[in-house]
């Protein structure tokens, strides 16, 4: 399994790997984008079915990544030869076209597309990237995306993807216990990354009886401690603290509807929050009538909606219960079953048998590999 260590894709990989352990599936993880921080290393230590190779290669959406992508490709092929996997699970749009010796499942993540692939202003750099993506999509044995909307976006850009299927993202419900709700509104890092959304919330906050808390994902050099005086800004939260805030929050708001950076809406639903979301096709697809939607940049509409929810306890309890029930459909067990089915289909096609080859040895958990070491091994 290939993947970067950014929060969204990392969360997806960890949920899947943990769930695959129930099926005795061993995963070799080729992590890129830097060495793992301590929090992620602690998470790895709790897993029995994973071996991690770390690297500091640039990621595909970074500026001028091509030399690193070429080196990373050689490194990945070396790892395939070393570890002899049954399936290549690519969480990247560019490595699917490598000369792999095993079937490739290419997973399309919206985070990566948000960073680069579907930007409106097309440069030569983008065109080069598109060519790599097209080649990967053409050569992959199977393509997986989390929503129909993302598949639509990919097909609009790269043509029909007949081998694609939908497998939803998931989160473990046990991490998000239901608790007593307190009178405040919470928004996460996705909003902090969207200036129009945070300005909208800052403008309407004085007219609301409840405070609005926003999780801040990073510090900008020279930035004032809190440039938005009507909002309560929380410094970058650990995963545990973020879950605690969601447990207590009565309302979760994501005005932009852009959730390319995380799992926050699913986590808020599992935590029993009322969902107030930007009106986008992907969120409508996932949440249907289990959320309240407001058009992007509709400041008056958002203010009216939040005022109504603050004074409508019964309505809030009802819609929060619906969103929680819907969230329980997006659990790791269901995601793992879908991937197991896919893996088996690919192995049947290749080996004419219905079960994966499971290795019996238990390798060490960490192999910290710098570029030169990897490429010379």
What pLDDT was estimated at residue 195? 83
Of 8-22, 60-74, 80-94, 170-184, the range with the lowest mean pLDDT is 60-74
91 shares a domain with 139: yes
**What's the average model confidence in pLDDT over 125-142?**
90
Class of residue 81 by CB neighbours under 10 A (exposed 0-12, middle 13-18, buried 19+): exposed
338 shares a domain with 318: no
Q: What is the pLDDT of residues 94-130, one digit of tens each?
A: 999 999 999 999 999 886 665 554 455 567 777 888 8
165 shares a domain with 128: yes
What pLDDT was estimated at residue 72? 96
Quickly tell me which residue has 């992907």 as its tokens.
Answer: 282
Alpha carbon separation from 90 to 98, 156, 163, 325, 348 (Å, rounded): 11, 21, 15, 31, 20
Q: Among 290, 307, 327, where does a domain finish? A: 327
30 shares a domain with 179: no
67 shares a domain with 44: yes
What pLDDT was estimated at residue 315? 98
Residues 25-55: b if buried by 16+ CB within 10 A, e if exposed:
bbbbbbbbbeebeeebeebbeebebbbbbbb
Q: Is the pLDDT of residue 27 over 90?
A: yes
The CA distance from 236 to 216, in Å, is 5
Q: Which residues contact 20 (CB under 8 A, 6 or more apart)?
A: 27, 49, 336, 339, 340
The CA distance from 366 to 27, in Å, is 12
Q: Is the pLDDT of residue 38 over 70?
A: yes
14 shares a domain with 158: yes
159 shares a domain with 20: yes
141 shares a domain with 62: yes
Alpha carbon separation from 84 to 42, 178, 359 (Å, rounded): 26, 43, 10
Q: How many residues does the chain have?
A: 377
The CA distance from 243 to 182, in Å, is 14
What pLDDT was estimated at residue 370? 44
163 shares a domain with 182: no
What 8-state DSSP symbol labels residue 263? -
Class of residue 62 by CB neighbours under 10 A (exposed 0-12, middle 13-18, buried 19+): middle
∠ CA 89-114-259, rounded to 5°: 90
156 vs 115: which has the higher pLDDT: 156
Q: Among 327, 344, 365, where does a domain finish? A: 327
The CA distance from 198 to 261, in Å, is 16
Structural domain harbouring 258: 173-327
CATH number, domain containing residue 106 = 3.40.50.2000
Count of domains forming the chain: 2
For 277-317, the DSSP string reads EE--HHHHHHHGGGSEEE-TT-HHHHHHHHHHHHT-HHHHH
Q: Is the pLDDT of residue 354 over 80?
A: no
What pLDDT was estimated at residue 375? 35
For 200-264, the DSSP string reads HHHHHGGG-SS-EEEE-----TT--S-S-TTSEEEP---HHHHHHHHHHEEEEEETT---TT--H
44 shares a domain with 80: yes
Q: What is the pLDDT of residues 269-302, one digit of tens each?
A: 999 999 999 999 999 999 999 999 999 889 999 9
């Amino acid at each position: 399994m290939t993947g970067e260590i950014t929060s969204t894709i990392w969360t997806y990989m960890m949920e899947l790997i943990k769930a695959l352990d129930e099926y005795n599936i061993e995963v070799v993880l080729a992590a890129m984008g830097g060495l793992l921080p301590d929090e992620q290393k602690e998470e790895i230590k709790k897993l029995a079915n994973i071996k991690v190779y770390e690297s500091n290669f640039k990621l595909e959406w970074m500026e001028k990544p091509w030399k690193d992508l070429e080196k990373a490709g050689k490194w990945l092929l070396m790892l395939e030869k070393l570890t002899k996997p049954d399936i290549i699970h690519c969480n990247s749009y560019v490595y699917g076209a490598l000369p792999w010796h095993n079937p490739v499942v290419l997973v399309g993540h919206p985070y990566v597309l948000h960073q680069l692939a579907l930007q409106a202003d097309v440069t030569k750099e983008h065109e080069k990237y598109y060519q790599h993506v097209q080649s990967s999509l053409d050569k992959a044995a199977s393509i997986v995306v989390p929503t129909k909307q993302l598949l639509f976006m990919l097909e609009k850009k790269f043509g029909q993807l007949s081998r694609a299927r939908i497998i939803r993202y998931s989160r473990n419900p046990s991490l998000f216990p239901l608790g007593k709700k307190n009178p405040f509104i919470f928004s996460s890092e996705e909003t902090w990354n969207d200036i129009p959304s945070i300005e909208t919330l800052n403008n309407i906050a004085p007219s609301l009886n409840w405070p609005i808390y926003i999780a801040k994902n990073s510090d900008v050099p020279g930035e004032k401690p809190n440039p938005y005086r009507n909002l309560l800004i929380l410094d970058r939260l650990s995963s545990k603290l973020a879950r605690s805030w969601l447990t207590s929050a009565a309302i979760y708001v994501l005005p932009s509807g852009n959730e390319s950076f995380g799992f926050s809406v699913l986590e808020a639903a599992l935590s029993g929050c009322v969902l107030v979301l930007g009106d986008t096709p992907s969120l409508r697809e996932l949440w249907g009538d289990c959320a309240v939607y407001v058009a992007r940049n509709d400041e008056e509409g958002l203010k009216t909606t939040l005022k109504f929810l603050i004074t409508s306890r019964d309505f809030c309890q009802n819609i929060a219960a619906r969103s929680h029930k819907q969230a329980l459909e997006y659990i790791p067990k269901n995601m793992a079953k879908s991937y197991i089915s896919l893996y088996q289909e690919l192995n049947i096609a290749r080996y004419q048998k219905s079960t994966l080859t499971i290795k019996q040895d238990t390798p060490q958990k960490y192999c910290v590999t710098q570029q030169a070491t990897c490429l010379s091994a």
